[in-house]
Structure formats: C-alpha cells, structure tokens
C-alpha cells in the first residue's frame, strides 16, 4: 500500500488542507478502481465502510491477492469536514460560495472532444487510452482560483482514468441505494448484488455535473459525436452509493459494507479469492421515476411508514401536526412506489420536501437532483 498526499494551498494565511489517497496494487494495473467517501462531508457511513475495506485490502495485499489497482480517498472533503456552525455540521455546501461540493464538476467531453478529431483510431482499446490521456491533459490545465477548485481538480485527476468509480455518500434516513448511468447495466446489477442495495436509480444526465456523472457522461457524449466514425468504449462505470442514512454509522454495519465492497472488487477482477456477491439484484428504476411529497403545513412530523416500505398511491405516509392549532394533516403518497428516503428532521416548514419514492414509470425530466 502506498500513500500520496496533496496539500491544497489554503485561502487564509497560515492554513492548509490535505487530501490523502491510499493505493493497493501496481500503478497502471487493470481494472483500476477508485473509491472515495464524504465528498458531502457530513455523511459518515461510507467513511467507516472504507475504513473496514482498507483493512481487508491490507490483508489481501499481504496474501498477494491484489490483481488490479485500487485507490481509496477515505475523506474526500477536508474543507467541508471542518465547517461547523453553532454545533451543527455543514458539509454539503461550501460556505464561501454555497456551492454543493458534489456539483459543478467540469464537462470533460466539451474539453476534449475537438482535440480528439485528429487522434482517434479504428481501435476502441486504443481510443480508451487516447481519450483518458486527453482528459488528463484537460484536467491538468483546469484553472484553480480556490481550495474548492483545487479539491475538484485533485479528485478528478486521481479518478478520471479509473475503470470503476464508487463515490460513497448517504441520505437522511434511507435504504441502501445507488445512482448510475444506463451505460453499463451489468455492473450496476453486480454492485447491487454485492452491496445489498434495494434500488438503483438510472439516468444518463441528472443535471448539475455531479462527481459520478463527470466520469460517465463524457463517454456517452463522445460515443454519439463519433458514431459511425470511431469506436468509443463505455470507458468508466461510475456510481453514487448511498449508504443508508446519516445516523447509520457503526462498526458492525461498516464491517459488513466493507466486506460487500470487497466482494464487488473480487467480482470485477481487482482482487482475487473474494467471496461472491451475496444479495439479489435490485430494481433499476429511472431517476425520472422518483417522486416527492411536501409538508402541507409547518409543524411536527410523525411517520407511519419507514424507508423500504412499498407505498400505494394515496396512502398516508406521515402526519404533520401544528402544535398551536392542534391541526393534524396527513401526508400521502403522490404515486405508488418504493419509499427509499425520508427527512431526518422531525419538524418542518410548510412546503418542505418530506420524502421520496421511486417507481418504474418516468414522471419528470430536466434537473432531477436536489441542491
Ligand atoms: Zn451526499
């Protein structure tokens, strides 16, 4: 195992922040797998899962079982990790710019597409290498005006040439689920079977340029642009893995999640001698098939349903009680589907989103992710 550190310059005099990457296997070995956690810096379940995975990788390395290259960034966002206000963590947006840490990644297809016109060949395998090299050059040329720019540039520099990118997040209160591109459905199924995810939400472009899609959208765009001229491979499987809810942090769960991730690494040929994925595949539903419900008034939320429950349209999921008027209003399911996440807070303002469900039919399009 090797460790690489990169210091961000620091915006305040006398301050620096550090990114750390741990790597197993020979540099350049394939498949290359890149895993990171806590890009949203108040989401810790994935951090503990990766801690346990790293212990397992040390054992595998000692036994000579690492066959690919595995890179782990165990805490991807030291800027957000340090942001606390009045005893509350504020890890989702950078407070200086209020930008979501998991949005605004560069559009690599736009940056490399023109330069590729004179470089691509008749070989998909050669084009894979050529496109990755062009992406590396584009990332190296990205301007850095802030630590947030430097963070994005460093993470993408480490991950852009991986065959697999697993970005480990969590939701408020949720079942294990994941977001993926439609490009490589067999890998999506494999990851569901390895992790025990209950739901895969599929979309090519969700809006906002999240980290996972920064790795998949360029291949889809380039494939369309060069259709009939040059073969473009589906160069990367990338996913946002939602390790349940923010409070689901304990060593027993993390150890199981780490073992599940190792089963995935075994199944894709990055580590030898691993247990096989032990779960069933999950439904693959379109991200546009998710729906949400909003608070009919401000008040206190009490839940009748739990994440993982299947809802029928019109069914009561929660109540919101206004303690002053004593009015208790139901919150009903806007459609039938799997209740996969609910809000963490037990009080709400009128109009706030309270829960999301997912079904097989597309209901909406456009910008599909929350801020
Ligand atoms: Zn997140």
364 within domain boundaries: no
371 within domain boundaries: no
CA–centroid distance, residue 167 to ligand 1 (Å): 9
134 in the same domain as 182: yes
CA–centroid distance, residue 125 to ligand 1 (Å): 33
CA–centroid distance, residue 122 to ligand 1 (Å): 39
DSSP 173-186: EE-SEEEE-TT-HH
DSSP state at residue 66: B
- CB-based contact 16:9 (threshold 8 Å): yes
CA–centroid distance, residue 369 to ligand 1 (Å): 11
349 in the same domain as 261: no
CA–centroid distance, residue 182 to ligand 1 (Å): 20
CA–CA separation, 48 vs 54, rounded Å? Answer: 10
310 in the same domain as 210: no
Q: What CATH code is carried by the domain that includes residue 177?
A: 3.40.630.10
DSSP 122-153: S-HHHHHHHHHHHHHHHHHT----SHHHHHHH
CA–centroid distance, residue 132 to ligand 1 (Å): 26
CA–centroid distance, residue 118 to ligand 1 (Å): 39
Return the structure tokens found at 94.
């950078």
CA–centroid distance, residue 367 to ligand 1 (Å): 17
Return the structure tokens found at 66.
């690492």
Give the model confidence (pLDDT) of 212-262 as tens digits.
Answer: 999 999 999 999 999 999 999 999 999 999 999 999 999 999 999 999 999
DSSP 229-244: TS------EEEEEEEE
Per-residue pLDDT band for 365 (boundaries 50, 70, 90) equals: confident
Give the model confidence (pLDDT) of 84-143 as tens digits.
Answer: 999 999 999 999 999 999 999 999 999 999 999 999 999 999 999 999 999 999 999 999
CA–centroid distance, residue 172 to ligand 1 (Å): 9
CA–centroid distance, residue 5 to ligand 1 (Å): 23
Domain extent at residue 276: 2-282
CA–centroid distance, residue 166 to ligand 1 (Å): 12
Q: Looking at the chain, how many residues does it have?
A: 371
């Amino acid at each position: 195992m090797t460790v690489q550190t990169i210091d961000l310059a620091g915006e305040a005099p006398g301050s620096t922040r550090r990114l750390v990457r741990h790597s197993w296997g020979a540099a350049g070995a394939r498949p290359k797998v890149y895993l990171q956690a806590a890009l949203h810096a108040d989401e810790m379940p994935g951090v503990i899962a990766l801690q346990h995975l790293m212990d397992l990788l040390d054992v595998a390395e000692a036994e000579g079982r690492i066959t690919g290259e595995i890179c782990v960034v165990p805490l991807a966002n030291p800027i957000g990790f340090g942001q606390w206000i009045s005893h509350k963590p504020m890890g989702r947006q950078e407070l200086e710019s209020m930008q979501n840490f998991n949005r605004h990644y560069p559009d690599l297809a736009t940056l490399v597409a023109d330069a590729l016109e004179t470089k691509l060949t008749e070989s998909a395998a050669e084009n894979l290498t050529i496109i990755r090299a062009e992406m590396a050059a584009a990332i190296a040329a990205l301007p850095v005006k802030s630590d947030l720019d430097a963070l994005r540039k460093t993470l993408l520099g480490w991950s852009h040439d991986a065959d697999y990118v697993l970005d480990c997040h969590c939701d408020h209160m949720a079942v294990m689920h994941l977001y993926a591109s439609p490009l490589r459905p067999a890998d999506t199924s494999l990851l569901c079977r390895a992790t025990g995810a209950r739901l895969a939400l599929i979309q090519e472009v969700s809006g906002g340029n999240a980290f996972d899609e920064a790795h998949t959208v360029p291949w889809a765009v380039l494939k369309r642009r060069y259709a009939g001229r040059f073969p473009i491979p589906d160069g990367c499987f990338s996913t946002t893995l939602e390790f349940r809810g923010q409070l689901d942090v304990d060593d027993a769960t993390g150890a199981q999640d780490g073992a599940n991730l190792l089963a995935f690494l075994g199944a894709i040929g990055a580590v030898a001698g691993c247990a096989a994925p032990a779960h069933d595949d999950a439904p693959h539903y379109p991200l546009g098939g998710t729906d949400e419900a909003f608070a009919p008034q401000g008040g206190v939320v009490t839940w009748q349903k739990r994440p993982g429950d299947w809802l029928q349209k019109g069914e009561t999921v929660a109540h919101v009680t206004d303690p002053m008027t004593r009015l208790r209003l139901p919150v009903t399911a806007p459609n039938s589907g799997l209740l996969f996440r609910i809000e963490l807070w037990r009080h709400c303002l009128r109009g706030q989103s309270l829960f999301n469900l997912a079904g097989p039919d597309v209901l909406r399009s456009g910008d599909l992710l929350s801020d």
